[in-house]
Structure 1
Amino acid sequence: MSQSASLNTNPLAQQLRLPNGSMLRNRLAKASMSEALGTYDNRPTLGLVTLYQRWASSGIGLILTGNVMIDRRALGEPGNVVIEDEADLPILQKWARAATDQGAAIWVQLNHPGKQSTKGLNERNIAPSAVPFREDMAAFFDTPQEATSTEIQDIIERFGRSAAICKKAGFSGIEIHGAHGYLINQFLSPHHNQRTDQWGGSPENRRRFLLAVYAEIRRQVGADFPVAIKLNSADFQHGGFTEEESLATIQALVDAGIDLIEISGGTYEAPAMSGTLQEQKKASSVAREAYFLEFAEKVRAAVQVPLMLTGGFRSAAGMNAALASGAVDVIGLARLLAIDPDAPAALLQGRDSAQRVRAIKTGIKPIDLMGLMEILWYSLQLKRIARGGEPRANESGLLAFVKSLAMSGWGTYRTRRLRARN
């Protein structure tokens, strides 16, 4: 089959029009991964430009950035990029053009970590309620303080301001990170949110924060700028956010005008995207590849908003089967693009990547159960690409953990020192 013929018949290669009228050139998206490629005072770097040029050159339709924080006082890890003013507008423009000049859309994923920030990085961590991490994780994460009403309002306004700056810089859209146990997910979860005021209690009150964030972003960027959300299907945590509440939240977001929903699941304490939890899935789910396809089918039965599904895809056939089912509209790839940044070029022609995503293990059981290497190991590969090099698909998990631990410790120290000077 010729390349032109395969592109005509390959569902992955078909365009997608979003509700606001903007167009994605195909159905492949690079999902968000932790990059930690900012400076230790949280500014973007030219390494991000190099990395995103590489991804955009693969022909992929949509690129979602890694976590971009909205407040320098609330970092998730050393090296996070923070957008809270226009001081870095020139390099933000270069970052945006790295993708858009090659025809790819690039959306900034905006986030606030809430309690999910490692010990010592921030002066204090806030969350909906002062709920500690489980005992085996308490050595890594402090118990947060309950956010005040004034702090909640400030965070809402910061999301809107950061989104407006991203639009001015030339990015194609925004994704709100409402999954994986970060602050918005914490507000949605009855486990983390034990408030009795307007921001907690009933499911309607617990999703009030997310809807306020969305409304403020929409107010500042306008109706024609794409705004998406990454949302958990469930937290997979006792007393956490359930599928039923997720469906109700999705309906509220669709009613409010959201342009795309990316379905995911889990938190730091229950990492659904890691191989550990997915190894327990039944054989029929494994055969369909995607981790959350059954939930996507439930969403599709309820609403017609464009859906993006990330996690578990291994082959072009599996991706095209998910699209052909009508349950999803966009296929999200993350870890594969850290070990094969050129994979979309093959997939768009109906061919599989030569690389295979594998579970990364250190041999240290508590570390492996937390799923941390699904972040740390892949971040190292992204750093290599950002330097103009190639990833090392066979790098030792234990060696990567030792490197990452040293880098994180040094990064935390430097971040705190730089903050103290300012």
Structure 2
Amino acid sequence: MATLEDPIEIGGCRVPNRLYRAPLLECAGNGPDTVETLIEDLEPAAASGVGLLCQGATIVRGDGGCAAPGMTRVHDPNFVSRLSRLTNRIHDHGSKIFLQLEHGGLRSMETWHAEYRREHPGLEQLAVSKPPWQLRALDRAGFLSYDPRVLDTEEVYELAANFGRAAGYAADAGYDGIHIAGANMGIVQQFLSPFYNRRDDEFGGSPEARLRFLAVVRDEIRKRAGDVPVIAKVPAETPAPPAPLVRRKLSLEDGIEIARRLERIGYDAVVPVQTSVVWDMSIVRGEYPDRAWANEALQEGYDAAFGGASRKRLVAAANRVQSLQYGPESAWNEGFCRRVRERVSIPVLAEGGIREREEMDRLLGGDAEAGACDMVGMARPFYAEPRLGARLLETESASDGESVRVLCESCNNCTVPQVTGAPGICRTPAVLRRRGELERDGAYERGAGE
């Protein structure tokens, strides 16, 4: 049975342990300070012993496609080559780093960010198909703005080539692998989902055809980056609104079948996640972020993003309702991961609400039943504790005998401000005070828990 400290291989890449930092939005952009910002964000996790770091969603094209302000673009080989300073720093600590590639499609800022739309009036939204009627209704009501260009078949192949080119640049810069953002309403999920994909060419129709985009992406990566390991998020749209609002969506069984087929296509690991067909708190389950919404310094940014104070209040109200629907839940993808692991032989990575060392051991198979996954990851807890690995690795329990638990309270005060371009940092005083106490006690030094 595996432990958190055991090494693992992903497509020939040997990762020193089974703890990974899941993709986060680093808000580094593409400016002169991008590399330093990424080093500042990512190196602490490597220094604390985390085996694998997944740099958050990076966009494969030079314009459009950003789902939030501050996303980094990786279409330019000259820019990506500068990121070798980051990969070298991560490797100095013995850790591995994968780059997550994405395009937002209908979730891009040109859809939802009012000020961005005004500043980029000629920027086209890329769509897999004509938006579903539910989203067109939101457009007519004034909540969103849809005027997409549906990709023709040749353009779909070109988009897949964008993923391949970016992967090639990343491999040259020293990245150890590629992570395809296959969920969270990005364009890959839009290809996979019957809610979005109503195409009648080879990229739509049957489940096999909807998966073809990921198959072409894998071929393009092989062509341009060789045998670099590639992992993908696998969505099941199980929290999506019920019928009659959403009748066509990816079931849990659909997600399991996608994972099985991805292994056959040549993907080296999968990350099964339960998500919705829209951007909501099924992705970041937890409490209503009252501190973030009340932050006076962010109000102007919220107004710019949502198009004024009244719309900002509507979004905040929807956020409150969703927090009741998707409250804090422990390891909410466990069941999905377990069922996928029964059907595939490649590593299964689990994330989503994992917060305790004891829980990690159980998920990896440290109890009587078979494990649900081969690696365990977290995202928001690294905003709260950048050097979190040192507290979790090589120590099964705290001095009082209780399971080591992360400080993150899943309050989401770190995530909501990102719509304004603010960095993803913990803003909860109680958590920050406790982190300071742990820092003074040396808890974030390697070997402190031995």
- TM-score category by the smaller chain? 0.7 to 0.9
Residues 350/192 of structure 1: CA separation in 2 closer, same or farther (3 Å cut): same
Deviations, residues 214-260 of structure 1 (Å, cap 9, x unaligned): 1211222223x211111213353322222222222111111122111
Structure 1 position 75 matched with structure 2 position 65: yes
**3-state SS in 2 of match to 1:350:** coil
The residue number in structure 1 matching 2:266 is 257
The answer on whether the counterparts of 2:413 and 2:428 sit within 8 Å (CA) in structure 1 is no
Checking the alignment, whether the CA contact within 8 Å between 2:282 and 2:326 is kept in structure 1 is: no
Count how many residue pairs are aligned between Structure 1 and Structure 2.
364
Other structure's SS at 2:4 match: helix
After TM superposition, give the deviation of residue 40 of structure 1 in Å.
6.3
Q: Which residue identity is paired with 2:339?
A: K
- Quote how far apart the aligned CAs of 1:173 are: 0.6
Instruction: Find the aligned partners of 2:430 and 2:47 in 1 and give their Cα distance.
Output: 25
- Paired residue for 1:322? 363
Change (3 A) 1:10 1:374: farther
Aligned residue for 2:103?
A: 112
SS in 2 for 1:380: coil
Q: Which residue of 1 aligns with 2:52?
A: 62
Letter in 1 for 2:253: E
Between the aligned partners of 1:25 and 1:377, the Cα distance in structure 2 is 37
Within the alignment, does 1:291 sit opposite 2:332 as a pair? Answer: yes
Please point out which of 402, 409, 417 is paired with 1:357.
409
**1:272 maps to which of 270, 282, 300:** 282
Q: Does 1:207 align with 2:242?
A: no
Runs of 4 or more above 4 Å deviation: 134-138, 276-282, 374-379
1:281-316 CA deviation, whole Å, 9 max, x = no partner? 89xx95xx2111111111111112101011111211
CA distance in 1 between partners of 2:407 and 2:137 (Å): 37
In structure 2, the partner of 1:23 is 14
Deviations 1:342-399 (A, max 9, x none): 211111122424513233379xxxxxxxxx62955996344xxxxxxxx433399xxx
Contact 1:230 1:261 (C-alpha < 8 Å) held by counterparts: yes
- Residues 122-271 of structure 1: pairs in structure 2 closer than 5 A: 123-131=123-131, 133=135, 135=137, 139-223=143-227, 225-234=228-237, 236-237=239-240, 238=246, 239-267=248-276, 268-271=278-281
Q: Distance in 2 between matches of 1:55 and 1:379?
A: 21
In 2 relative to 1, CA 167–314 (structure 1 residues): closer, same or farther, beyond 3 Å? same
* Residues 1:266 and 1:173: Cα distance change in structure 2 (over 3 Å): same
C-alpha contact 1:35 1:379 (8 A) present in aligned 2: no
3-state SS of paired residue (1:12):
coil
Distance 1:347 1:154 in 2: 43
Contact 2:218 2:266 in 1 (8 A): no
Q: How does 1:392-403 map to 2 (within 5 A)?
A: 392-394=427-429
Quick check: 2:98–2:176 contact (8 Å CA) kept in 1? yes
Q: Secondary structure at the match of 1:88?
A: helix
Aligned counterparts of 1:253 and 1:375: Cα–Cα separation in 2: 32
Contact kept? 1:263, 1:292, Cα under 8 Å: yes
Corresponding residue of 2:416: 373
Aligned with residue 6 of structure 2, among 2, 14, 24? 14
CA distance in 2, matches of 1:257, 1:236: 28
Q: Secondary structure at the match of 1:191?
A: coil
Residues 193 and 344 of structure 1: is their aligned pair in 2 closer, same or farther, counting only changes over 3 Å? same
Structure 1 residues 374 and 263, CA gap change in structure 2 (3 angstroms): farther
Unaligned runs of 5+ in 1: 1-8, 363-371, 383-390, 397-422
Identity of aligned residues (%): 26
Q: Give how far 1:134 is off.
A: 6.4
Q: Which amino acid aligns with 1:331?
A: V
TM-score by length of 2: 0.74
* Structure 2: 5+ residue stretches without partners: 111-115, 241-245, 287-321, 398-403, 432-450
Structure 2 CA distance for partners of 1:300 and 1:354, relative to 1, 3 Å = closer
TM-score, normalization by structure 1: 0.79
Show the counterpart of 2:94. 103
Whichever residue aligns with residue 380 of structure 1, its letter is P
Distance 1:186 1:103 in 2: 36
Cα-Cα RMSD: 2.8
Verify the 8 A CA contact 2:69 2:420 in the aligned structure 1.
Answer: no
Following TM superposition, by how much is the alpha carbon of 1:187 offset from its aligned partner in structure 2, in angstroms? 0.7
Take 1:278 and 1:226, find their aligned partners in 2: how far apart are those partners? 36
Confirm or deny: 8 A CA contact 2:5 2:17 kept in the other structure: yes
Match status 1:300 vs 2:341: yes
For 2:185 and 2:430, the matched residues in 1 are separated by 28
Q: Supply the AA of the counterpart residue of 1:125.
A: Q
- Counterpart contact for 2:74–2:80, Cα < 8 Å: no
Question: Partners of 1:228 and 1:355 in 2: how far apart?
Answer: 28
Deviations 1:89-125, CA, capped at 9 Å, x for gaps: 4421112112111111000001111111123456011
Distance 2:170 2:237 in 1: 29
